[in-house]
Structures are given as structure tokens and as C-alpha cells.
Structure 1
Amino acid sequence: METRKDWWKNSVIYQIYPRSFMDSNGDGIGDLNGIRQKLDYLKLLGVDVLWLSPVYASPNADNGYDISDYRAIMEDFGTMEDFDAFLAEAHEKGLKIVMDLVVNHTSDEHAWFLEARSSKENPYRDYYIWKDGDTEPNNWGSVFSGSAWEKDEATNQWYLHLFATKQPDLNWENEKVRQEVYSMMTWWLDKGVDGFRMDVINLISKDQRFLDAPTYGGLYGNSMIYTANGPRVHEFLKEMNRNVLSKYDIVTVGEAPGVTVEEAKKYTSADENELNMVFQFEMMSIDQGEYGKWTPIPFDLRKMKQNFKKWQEGLADQGWNSLYWNNHDQPRIVSRFGNASEEWRKKSAKMLGLCLHMHQGTPYIYQGEEIGMTNVRFDSIEDYKDVEILNAYKELVKDSKRLSEDTFMEGGYRMSRDNARTPMQWNDQKNGGFSSGQPWIGVNPNYRTINAEEALADPDSVFYFYQKLIDLRHKLPILTNGVYKQYLEEDENVYVFSREGENESLVVLCNFSRSPQHVVLPDELVGNAQLLLSNEEEKELQKEMDLTPYEGIVYQIKK
């Protein structure tokens, strides 16, 4: 039986990247008042929770994930009064608000770091991680390319930054740092927000030996070996839960690169008193090659099915899954695992949505996913804005020449984070209706045919299909509680699984191919079935079935 605090298990969460969602004042940057203007659209979609990527004060070295003041709103996005008005109106409409909590690191323009770097004796010095040496303290690499260490010439020490140089890592070994974070979290929860998505939260505990890491043939060591799921991370999160989280009826999700199933159980089991769920990234690496996302390899459905099985079964009795295809760090799923051509875009987008939402876990929808937005192909590297692709281009193309420009850009077209950050496409007017001014990043030219206005006018659109998926999530407890079982595991084109309950079961069939597929189902899946949802014309569940390209279908069988 779900308790009051388990409401997030049958909720659907919608991620908003504020900079690219809706611009209300014509400066080319999305803002809080713009989001507020679109609350009715989100309510119509049927989602329960809105997760905002960071809206705090920031110099924007990493688009807001470098925070200079946790208790202030970025001027680009408006004022704290705008936030309060947005929060109140969202709550009036029955929508919950989740904030992005970024506490592995701050901006180098945060008051703590400005104090810390002023002298070795400053009381804030130990808020960050400093080391002596003529050369880098170890070989750790930054996630954004290059060394994870930066020399501070004024004090002749190195500080750690697992991400951009302007994102120094906080020293969670220092109890004062932890208490500052808990105080800030309490401040936001008292304001009325409904939870936190915690950025790279499993990196907060570093192995204090600071040993060199394996390089795997690269220039720098893989710092995740000594930072992901570190020695005190569960201690810290239990302390956070005890001091803050347990006192509120909220939802928490931790972004956890490099997390294993066993670690995820520790983070998300109700018995452990840490978080409600985690984001894991294994699914997001199945099509990455020698140089990661910059050298993608063909999609392999069997790898995807293996990953779903591993996590669905692994967290079934202990823990909870986050279900996502897209977010601000990932390319558009219809361009990645689907087919973005005019012929198949809508159908494959619907199939992908159906596939994801039929699993156990809390589904996430990223802005534009519900209308089938696609990747973008900008003309040159100069059109890209993200620090990750710009740094990788410099390292892999310009400096080391390990990749040709053409090879690298093809990888960027498929995998760059900017694919997710092009402005939301609201209509076929100037800039897709996002802004009356010059957008901070280019709009995908296909906004003239792919936009929310067009989707709302089309009864057969991706939008209304997602609306139906969300409605099923709310109405069918089996989607929350049913046991997952996978079939035809070696099939390279079709994904078949069921969700089993005491009195009913669901049978899900998804064709990931642009070719028709013939499947022979096990006897146990065939029964007196009712069609629940399909992106194709109705057909009966039979032992032998012919699936059309990108067909997605779910049946309900009463026992």
C-alpha cells in the first residue's frame, strides 16, 4: 500500500530547461515568467511535477550548474518575486516544483570561493579541496576535458574541479560545508518547493588518498574511479536525510554517474533513508564508442533490453527506478533510438514513449519530447554553446588531432548536449514562438512543422499520445507495482515484456525497426486481451503477430 510519502511512485515528472523553454521579455533567454505562461499547457499534458534545471544566480560557465548564490535567482530568469509567483500559481494548478540541487561544486564566483582563494588562512579555505605541488596533485581528468586541477597563482596551490575550471568542488569532509548545504535546502523547502533533483550527488565523497587513476589510453585518469560512490557518500546522504529530507513530504532523485545496481539499492531503498530514486547512465552509453559520445556506434536493441532487465529486476523489491530517455545532457531520443525522418518521426516517438512509460519507476519527460522534437545540425562548431562540446573539440580535434573535424562533428550532431537545449518550439512563427528577440542559441529550423501549436491541433499527435500514457500511469496501479518480465531477449528488432499483477497483466510489444517484424509469442503471454494503447491501427493479441515499423502496443489481460 502506498503511503502519503510515496506519491512520487505514480507521478510523471517534466523537466524544464528554463533558458530554452519560454522567453517572456524578448531578451532571447527563457525565464520564470515564461514558464508561468505555459503552466496551462503542462497541466493539459497531465504531468504532476515540474523539475527546473538551475535558476539560481550564476555566471553561466555551465549554464547555471555553476552557482554563485544559492538563495538568489539568476537575473536572466527574473527575480525571487517572480519565482514566488510562479511557485504559487503552479501549486494552485496542482503542479509540484522540484529544484535542481548542485552541491558537489559551486561557481568560482560564489562568496565562499572568493573568500577561500583570498588566502590559505581564510576560514573558508577548507570549504574546497586544495593541494600543494609544482605539478598537478594527481592525473585526474575533468568531465569536461583536460585536468581536474587548476593552479591558483595567488596562493600557489591547486584546487579540484571535476567539471569546468569555474566549478570548484566543495569539500564535504568539512562539517561546516554540510551544515551550510542543509541550511540552504531547508530554506527552499520552507519556501514550499516539493523536492530536489541532486546533480552528481554521488561524487560528493572523494577518496582522500587522491591516487592516480587509470587513463584507459587517454591523456588523463578517470577520476570517477575515486569519486563516484565514494567512501562516505552514504553517511553524508543519511545525515542529509536525517537533518532535512525526512522532515518534509517531498521527492528526491540523485544523479549518480557510475552507480551500480547494488549501490542504487543503498541510495533508494526505503530502509536506508537516503533518496527516493537515482538517475543511472548505463543506458546512455550503449551507443558510445572509443571516444565516448564523440564517436557513436550503431544502436543495439539487445544491449538496451539487457540494461532494462538488469535495472528493472535489480531494483524491483528494494529501491526505485527513474525512467528517462531525454534530459538537458542527452540528445533527442527520436533522433537517437527512433527515426527522425518525416515519415517515421511521430510514430517512432510514440513507440519510444510507450516503451519507457510501461516500465516500473517514475517516468521523466524532457521539454519538447512530448511533441517529438529532434536533434539539430548547426552549420559549424561556432554555433554550439555548451562547454562540453567546445572543450572536447579543442582537445580531440585542434590540440591532439585524434579525430578529424568531420568525424567529431558527426558525433556532435548525434550526441551533443546542445541538441536538447535548442529553444522549445511553440508555433511556426518567428523563433518558433520562443522569443521575440534573438535566441541565446539557434532554433532548430524544423520548428515550422514540429511545434506545440501543430501538436495541439492534431488529435493523432505525439502530445496526445503522451497525455494518454500519463493517464494510464495515474489509473493503473500495475504500472507502479507490477512485476517486470522480459521475453524474446535475443530479438534484434522487437522488445517484448510484461508487467504482472495478481489479477491482471500487461503485455508490451515495441518494434524498434523501420521494417515490419513477425514475432511468435510464448503461450503465457496470449490470453483474452484488451487493447490499452497503440500507435497503430487496432489489432488483437495473438500468438503470432506482424508488427509494422516502429509499432508500439500494450494489452491488458484479466486473470
Structure 2
Amino acid sequence: MSKSYNLEPLAYKPTPENSYPSEKSQQYDVSSPESIDVKLSDNNTTSGTPFRGMGKEELLQYSSKPFWRRLRMICISIILLGWLALIITVVALVLIYPKCKSPDSRTWWQNEVVYRIYVRSFKDSNGDGVGDLDGVTSKLDYIKDLGAGVISLSPTYEDDGSDGDFHLTNHMKIDSAIGGDQGLQTLITKAHEKGLKVLLDFIPTHTSDQSVWFKESEAAKLRNNSYRNFYVWTNTPTNWKSVYGGDAWNESSVRTGEYYLHHFLHNQPDLNLRSPQVKAKLNEILVHWLNQSVDGFYIRNSAYMFEDYDLRDEPKRSSGDGYNDYNHIYTKNLPEIYDMFARWRTTVDTQMNRVLMADPDPKSAVTEMMKYYGHFQRDGVHLPIRRRPFPSNCNGQCVGNYVNEWMNNLPSGRWPTWSFGDESVKRLASNHNESFIRAFAMLTMLLPGTPVLYYGDEINMMDVTANASLTSRKHPSRGLMQWDNTDNGGFSNSSSPWIAPSSDFRMNNVKNQSSKGDSLLSFFKNLTTLRREDSFRIGEYHSALVDNSIFSFVREFDGKKGYLVAINFAETAQKRDYTSSHSTIQTKASFDLTTGGSESFDADTDVDPSSLTLGPMQGVVVSWDYVAKEL
């Protein structure tokens, strides 16, 4: 509805010339409000609103004056500056304020514990006294319940029947004595159904002298025979020594006047990995087992894959004539091994989620071991397995050096490993008491990296009395797995297993330890459960307090609990303030796990990391809720 206005005429004086002024001559003195008397007969008054009722042209006339233009510009500038300041503030907060980190991607071989099995000693399924693949299959639930996710099998290939593990005659067939190809396929199928992975050993360095390859090579008279250079031959032997003693060259009874190289036993001739034919055969072996759904390989004796092309004599380091009296610059750790790793990595990477492990020479410098991960911008193996190098009396600083020299040299984007043992070194329990084993287990299970556990270490198995020869299968570390207190520890119902059982199997076995909540076996299960927490699985690692007695570290991830792992490697109790060693450690923490020991911890009582006492050889894990970092 439109509004009506009643305008009274303006007062003015008539002039003699005109009774009424014309439009042009009509003037108002706008400087004098008294001269204008405008009344609006609307219901609203115009008091206090001087521009109300003006037409568009009049409003534009006023708004175009300098005062109003300046006022508008000032208001617009204030608004724009305010928006700009707000944007700058938001950007600054995004850039400066500590951000929650995205979790690094992890694959199965980074998340899982590797359980290393010496097949002949694990479980005999058919009563012949020899452990077999069906025996391993029967214990998959035990392995899974332990918390391991990867099974790494000792050499399982067809051999010549000698008393050794590396006398191979066929790399692409499983030895019938331990179950044959069908036994392996059953194991892989059942393991995969339970979410477990299976790795095979890969032995590229040598074969048995009964191998078809060697027989063909030895019989080759013509240089165009494809097998002639499958092995390393010479008619002028060097001063090279075998790892097991004696000369590394053996004269052929067929190729008269020629010698073949053997880094190990005389009936284990070395393959010539410089030969294109040998490289092709080895790659064919990998592809064969990958096609059988094997999840990866452990490359054995990897430091010995190549030798000097010119077969030069090695320099002496001492006056003797044994293996250790020479400097093995021409027969071990040659740079060509990294090229082979890169080739095999390419083959393995053609199929998703497969892994390569390898065993660097334990006497090599850590910086040399790091090359196993990759060299000259080429990928190497995923997991170099470093055997533990520390002495039996290793203290906190010693353990710290062991951890830090690996972590500090680790190439960007690579993943560490921590080994308990394998079939070629003495068992932990033969050199250390259970308190140290628990402390070492807590260390290696909760550090970032992949732990490699040797079967039986979880129940404190010790070396057995056996043939101590390094060339024999009956190595002391290969004792029968102790399942229960029945004859042969439940390994076999045979009256004569291939190796004698340990003397303590009646008391120390899986069955007995499973019934005790404080057993070493239960402790391992607690560790494998704890390491599944996000802070351990994908979290950051920070070294904390380290001294002659204590080694400690922090694992944390934004938005998740923080954990302090503190271990006392001394023979006396130690009290320390850990809060000053890392900024996120809180003075009020919760108890999570201990190795046991003289100092007791209560799950219902808060722990104060600023005044924390650990007993001799005792470790503890405490945690605190995530605290957001402030500016």
C-alpha cells in the first residue's frame, strides 16, 4: 500500500511582477531550516532522520560529496583489512601449530614378528624321528597364539643326504624327508587361512657336488658347453681359505689340472654368479616359488656370493695359515652383491607384498650392512638380519650402542630388524640368564623394527649336547622343540629322534609354561600383544635416558598414548628421573608391563617417571594419555 503525503504550500512573499513565482525563480534557503516548513502527514515522524523522504537524485547528490566518499572507503578498507588479518592468522596457525602426523604406511613384514624354525627339530608328524612340514602345520595355532605372523623355514630343498643343510641337489624341489612339495603347499595353504606368512631360505652361493649342474660342469670339455662356467674354475689356485679350514680350492677328478672353488666344504662347490646362465637359473628359482605362493625369501650366506674376478691372492693379517689369518677383501662382501640384490628385488616386486631378507656378515661394519637396503639408488633387500653382536655382560651403554648404531645409520624410509638367534649361533639362554632374556625381549619387541625370534627362545631353551662341528646338522642350537614332559618332549613318538632331546625338557616345556601367568612364554605373548598398539606399530621412536646401567626410549603417536620403556641392565637397583630426557614424558603415568624382578608395580597405582626405581635386570613399560602440544 502506498503512502500519501499532504504537503502544505511553502510560505513566500508575492512579488509585484507575478502573483506566483515561477519554478525557475522559486528558491529555498536551505541554509536556514526556518525558511522551510515541510510537514509529512504519514504516521511516522521524520524527527532525527534528515535524509528520509529524499529522492534518489538528492541522495546521490549528498553521497557523492567528498566526506561520504572518504567514509565509504574507510569502512571498506577496515572490512578488507579485517578479512586479510583473519586469513593470515588462520594460515599462521596451520603452519606453526604442531600438527597431528599421518601414520606411515606399514606392510605385513613391518608389523609382524618373524618366527624362525629349524624344521627337522620342530615337530615330527609321522614318527620317523625327523621334524617335517606337516609337523609345522600342526602347530600353526601355537605360532599364531604366540603373536608371530611370519614363519621362516630353515633349508628344505632336496639334498644329497649328507649330514648338512646346504648340500643342495635341486633348488626347486622340497626334500621328501620333510614332506616334499605337497607338504609345503599344505603348510602355505593352512598358514594363509590363519593369516600367517611363509618364507623359504634361498641359497645362491653353492650346491652339492652331486647336483646335476655340477656334474654337467665338471664333465664339460668344450668351452661352449652351457654348464662349463656354472662354477668357479681355475688351473692356478690362489691362497684363498675355506671358512671351515684348509684351502678353498679342490682339484677335479674329471677336469684334470683344474680346481673348483668352495668357500665352505669341499663337496659344496661355489656357483659362479658372474655367469649369465647362473643368474637366469637363480631368478627362475625365485619365480618358481613365488608362483607357489611363497611370501618371500631369506638369502643365506649372502656375503660370499662373489669373489674377485681376477682371482688375486688375499693379503695376510697374521703369520698363521687359517681362515682368520687372511684379510678377505677378494672373497667376501664384494660390491657386486648389491647388484644381485637389486635384480632379485625387481623379481620379487613383480608380485605384491613379498619380502626379501638377507644375512650380512656379522663382522662387517654397520655402515656396510646398510648397503643391503639399497646401493646407488637401487633397492636392495627389505630386511637385513643382523645377528646380535654384544657380549654376555652387556650393560645399558653397551645395549645403547647396539641399538643406536643401527638406528642412527638407517637410510631414510628403511626398516630395522632385531634378531634373537638362528641355527648358526649359540642360543640366548646358553649365554644369559632369564632376567637378561626378558629385558632383551622387551627391548627388541618394542623398538621400531621387525623382531626375528628363533623357535624355543620363547621358553628359554638352551643349547643341547651335540656334535659341535659347524658342518654338521647336529648343531647345539638345533635341539628338539620341547612341547611337553613326555618322551622326547612331545617332539616325536620315535624312540630315536635324529638329535637327542635337552636334559631339562621334563620341567621346561610349552605345556608347563602355558599354565603359568608369569612364565617367559606368557611374557612373550604380552609383548606381542602390546606391540600391536598404534604407538608401537606406527609411532615415533625417541631415545630417552641412557647410561651405564639404563637404556630407555619413548614410543608415541599424536592422539595416542605415549609409552616409556625403561630397562635396567645393571646387577643393582637403579633410581632415575626420566622426565628430563624427553619432553612428552609425564610425571603421572600408568603401569603397563614389567619383566618381573624385585621392584613390584601395581596396575591400580600411578607411576612417577620422575622418580622411578628399577630392580636388577628389570624393565618396565609405563604410559600416559596423549597431551596436545601447545604453541
In the alignment, the residues of structure 2 paired with residue 180 and residue 189 of structure 1 have an alpha-carbon distance, to the nearest angstrom, of 14
Q: Which of 595, 605, 608 does residue 535 from structure 1 map onto?
A: 595
Residue 463 (structure 1) shift:
1.5
Q: Which of 336, 339, 342 does residue 235 from structure 1 map onto?
A: 339
Q: Which of 401, 420, 444 does residue 356 from structure 1 map onto?
A: 444
Q: Which of 469, 479, 482 does residue 527 from structure 2 map onto?
A: 469
In the alignment, the residues of structure 2 paired with residue 486 and residue 151 of structure 1 have an alpha-carbon distance, to the nearest angstrom, of 58
Deviations 1:422-476 (A, max 9, x none): 1111111111111222121221101111101111111222112111211222223
In the alignment, the residues of structure 2 paired with residue 66 and residue 514 of structure 1 have an alpha-carbon distance, to the nearest angstrom, of 45
Q: Which of 390, 398, 415 does residue 320 from structure 1 map onto?
A: 415
Matched, 1:113 2:214: yes
Q: Which moved more, 1:92-101 or 1:503-512?
A: 503-512
In the alignment, the residues of structure 1 paired with residue 513 and residue 126 of structure 2 have an alpha-carbon distance, to the nearest angstrom, of 25
Distance verdict in 2 for CA 1:62–1:530, change over 3 Å = farther
Give the equivalent residue in structure 2 for 1:267. 372
Give the equivalent residue in structure 1 for 2:153. 52
The TM-score with structure 2 as length reference comes to 0.74
In the alignment, the residues of structure 1 paired with residue 103 and residue 424 of structure 2 have an alpha-carbon distance, to the nearest angstrom, of 32
Matched, 1:131 2:234: yes
In the alignment, the residues of structure 2 paired with residue 268 and residue 226 of structure 1 have an alpha-carbon distance, to the nearest angstrom, of 22
Deviations 1:194-230 (A, max 9, x none): 0011112243232213333244334235464223331
Q: Which of 487, 501, 506 does residue 430 from structure 1 map onto?
A: 487
Could you say which structure has the higher helix fraction?
Answer: 1
Q: In the alignment, is the contact (CA less than 8 A) between 1:266 and 1:272 conserved in 2? A: no
Matched, 1:555 2:622: yes
Q: Which moved more, 1:201-210 or 1:441-450?
A: 201-210
Distance verdict in 2 for CA 1:251–1:513, change over 3 Å = same
Residue 480 (structure 1) shift:
4.4
Give the equivalent residue in structure 2 for 1:175. 276
In the alignment, the residues of structure 2 paired with residue 5 and residue 298 of structure 1 have an alpha-carbon distance, to the nearest angstrom, of 35
Amino acid at match of 1:276: H
Residue 335 (structure 1) shift:
2.7
Matches within 5 A, 1:363-442: 363-376=451-464, 378=465, 383-384=466-467, 386-388=469-471, 418-437=475-494, 438-442=496-500
Residue 421 (structure 1) shift:
0.4
Distance verdict in 2 for CA 1:186–1:3, change over 3 Å = farther
Secondary structure of 1:248's counterpart equals coil
Give the equivalent residue in structure 1 for 2:55. none
Q: In the alignment, is the contact (CA less than 8 A) between 2:104 and 2:538 conserved in 1? A: no
Q: Which of 456, 472, 475 does residue 514 from structure 2 map onto?
A: 456
In the alignment, the residues of structure 2 paired with residue 269 and residue 9 of structure 1 have an alpha-carbon distance, to the nearest angstrom, of 17
Q: In the alignment, is the contact (CA less than 8 A) between 1:194 and 1:250 conserved in 2? A: yes
In the alignment, the residues of structure 2 paired with residue 23 and residue 233 of structure 1 have an alpha-carbon distance, to the nearest angstrom, of 37
Amino acid at match of 1:205: F
Residue 60 (structure 1) shift:
5.3
Distance verdict in 2 for CA 1:450–1:482, change over 3 Å = same
Give the equivalent residue in structure 2 for 1:158. 259
Secondary structure of 1:352's counterpart equals helix
Q: Which of 479, 483, 494 does residue 550 from structure 2 map onto?
A: 494
Give the equivalent residue in structure 1 for 2:26. none
Q: Which moved more, 1:321-330 or 1:532-541?
A: 532-541
Residue 389 (structure 1) shift:
7.9
Distance verdict in 2 for CA 1:460–1:516, change over 3 Å = same
In the alignment, the residues of structure 1 paired with residue 486 and residue 372 of structure 2 have an alpha-carbon distance, to the nearest angstrom, of 46
Residue 314 (structure 1) shift:
1.2
Residue 355 (structure 1) shift:
1.4
Q: In the alignment, is the contact (CA less than 8 A) between 1:265 and 1:319 conserved in 2? A: no
Distance verdict in 2 for CA 1:330–1:239, change over 3 Å = same
Residue 532 (structure 1) shift:
2.6
In the alignment, the residues of structure 2 paired with residue 549 and residue 535 of structure 1 have an alpha-carbon distance, to the nearest angstrom, of 11
Secondary structure of 2:532's counterpart equals helix
Residue 62 (structure 1) shift:
6.3
In the alignment, the residues of structure 2 paired with residue 3 and residue 17 of structure 1 have an alpha-carbon distance, to the nearest angstrom, of 33
Deviations 1:263-282 (A, max 9, x none): 4444325963221110234x
Q: In the alignment, is the contact (CA less than 8 A) between 1:485 and 1:499 conserved in 2? A: no
Q: Which of 386, 390, 395 does residue 280 from structure 1 map onto?
A: 386
Q: In the alignment, is the contact (CA less than 8 A) between 1:316 and 1:483 conserved in 2? A: no
The TM-score with structure 1 as length reference comes to 0.84
Root-mean-square deviation (CA, aligned residues, Å) is 2.6
In the alignment, the residues of structure 2 paired with residue 476 and residue 549 of structure 1 have an alpha-carbon distance, to the nearest angstrom, of 30
Residue 232 (structure 1) shift:
1.9
In the alignment, the residues of structure 2 paired with residue 180 and residue 190 of structure 1 have an alpha-carbon distance, to the nearest angstrom, of 15
Distance verdict in 2 for CA 1:463–1:486, change over 3 Å = same
Residue 519 (structure 1) shift:
3.9
Matched, 1:32 2:95: no
In the alignment, the residues of structure 2 paired with residue 468 and residue 181 of structure 1 have an alpha-carbon distance, to the nearest angstrom, of 41
Q: In the alignment, is the contact (CA less than 8 A) between 2:357 and 2:382 conserved in 1? A: yes
In the alignment, the residues of structure 2 paired with residue 177 and residue 550 of structure 1 have an alpha-carbon distance, to the nearest angstrom, of 50
Distance verdict in 2 for CA 1:251–1:150, change over 3 Å = same
Amino acid at match of 2:427: R
Q: Which of 83, 107, 110 does residue 9 from structure 1 map onto?
A: 110
Distance verdict in 2 for CA 1:140–1:477, change over 3 Å = farther
In the alignment, the residues of structure 2 paired with residue 215 and residue 107 of structure 1 have an alpha-carbon distance, to the nearest angstrom, of 30
Give the equivalent residue in structure 2 for 1:406. none
Give the equivalent residue in structure 2 for 1:42. 143
Residue 502 (structure 1) shift:
4.5
In the alignment, the residues of structure 1 paired with residue 574 and residue 581 of structure 2 have an alpha-carbon distance, to the nearest angstrom, of 20
Q: Which moved more, 1:184-193 or 1:211-220?
A: 211-220
Q: Which moved more, 1:226-235 or 1:181-190?
A: 226-235
Amino acid at match of 1:488: V
Secondary structure of 2:475's counterpart equals helix
Distance verdict in 2 for CA 1:141–1:223, change over 3 Å = farther
Deviations 1:370-409 (A, max 9, x none): 1121233x3xxxx41643489xxxxxxxxxxxxxxxxxxx
Secondary structure of 2:136's counterpart equals helix
Residue 25 (structure 1) shift:
1.8
Secondary structure of 1:117's counterpart equals helix
> Would you identify which runs of 4 or more consecutive aligned residues in structure 1 move more than 6 Å?
1-5
Amino acid at match of 1:531: F
Distance verdict in 2 for CA 1:478–1:317, change over 3 Å = farther
Which one has the largest radius of gyration? Answer: 2
Q: Which moved more, 1:199-208 or 1:214-223?
A: 214-223
Distance verdict in 2 for CA 1:316–1:243, change over 3 Å = closer
Amino acid at match of 1:314: N
Distance verdict in 2 for CA 1:244–1:541, change over 3 Å = same
Residue 418 (structure 1) shift:
2.6
In the alignment, the residues of structure 1 paired with residue 538 and residue 461 of structure 2 have an alpha-carbon distance, to the nearest angstrom, of 28
Q: Which moved more, 1:500-509 or 1:252-261?
A: 500-509
Matches within 5 A, 1:190-269: 190-217=291-318, 218-220=320-322, 221-222=325-326, 224-257=328-361, 258-268=363-373
Residue 84 (structure 1) shift:
1.2
Q: Which moved more, 1:530-539 or 1:264-273?
A: 264-273
In the alignment, the residues of structure 2 paired with residue 158 and residue 481 of structure 1 have an alpha-carbon distance, to the nearest angstrom, of 55
Residue 170 (structure 1) shift:
1.0
